[in-house]
Amino acid sequence: MAKMIGIRPVRLDEVGLLKEIAEQTFTETFGHDNSSAQLQAYFDTDYSIETLAAELNHPETEIDFIMVDNQVAGYIKLNWGTAQTEQELEKAIEVQRIYILKAFQGQGLGKFAFEYALEVAEDGDFDWAWLGVWEHNHKAQALYAKYGFEKFAEHDFPIGDKIDTDWLLRKDLR
């Protein structure tokens, strides 16, 4: 039987579930490279209920759950205007987060969510789509390159007392 895959907005009353999914997916993705203290320090700031609620309420941010058969399988976060984490590109949309729970990986959900993000970018009045990707995440870098994204800068990504480097990749939508 075919699985029902979709994307739906996260409601403000689901901020606790968003926090849980965000922490679990981040830990599953980067836990091997960070101590539990580093992860907790990151969660206390970037994934606090207050921070996530403010992001959900921001008019230039879209946060959606990725759904499989009515179960939350991950989430996606898009930013434009003042909500972007960097302001280097004019008329740009940022694909800030695409995270899939480990139990749902290998089903094409990351590609599905990324293509959704590109549809939003192309349907909007944007000249650029961009994102940050960890410098050691070669699998994701290869995927983004297939879609025409190219490196244009780097920035620091603090996780507790550790600083990682993210590559900033962009795609011209004009």
Domains defined along the chain, listed by start: 5-126 (3.40.630.30)
DSSP state of 11: P
What pLDDT is stored for residue 1 in this prediction? 63
Please, are residues 153 and 168 in contact by the beta-carbon 8 Å criterion? yes
Q: What is the pLDDT of residue 59?
A: 98
Q: Look at the chain and count its residues.
A: 174
Mean pLDDT of 106-119: 94
Mean pLDDT of 86-111: 94
Mean pLDDT of 97-112: 95
What's the pLDDT tens digit per position in 13-41? Answer: 999 999 999 999 999 999 999 999 999 99
Helices and strands in the chain, H and E counts: 5, 7
The CB-side HSE value for 55 (13 A sphere, CA atoms) comes to 26
The arithmetic mean of pLDDT across residues 81-110, rounded, is: 95
The pTM of the full predicted model, rounded to 2 decimals, is 0.94
Mean pLDDT computed over 112-132: 95
Computed over every residue of the chain, the mean pLDDT equals 95
Q: Which is it for strands 92-100 and 128-134: parallel, antiparallel or unpaired?
A: parallel
What is the pLDDT averaged over residues 156-166?
A: 95
Distance CA 121, CA 128 (A): 8
Beta bridge partners of 155: 166
Q: What is the pLDDT of residues 144-158, one digit of tens each?
A: 999 999 999 999 999
CB-neighbour burial class of residue 134 (10 A; exposed 0-12, middle 13-18, buried 19+): middle
Residue 11 CA to residue 150 CA, distance in Å, equals: 33
Mean pLDDT of 54-83: 97
When pLDDT is cut at 50, 70 and 90, the band that residue 3 belongs to is confident
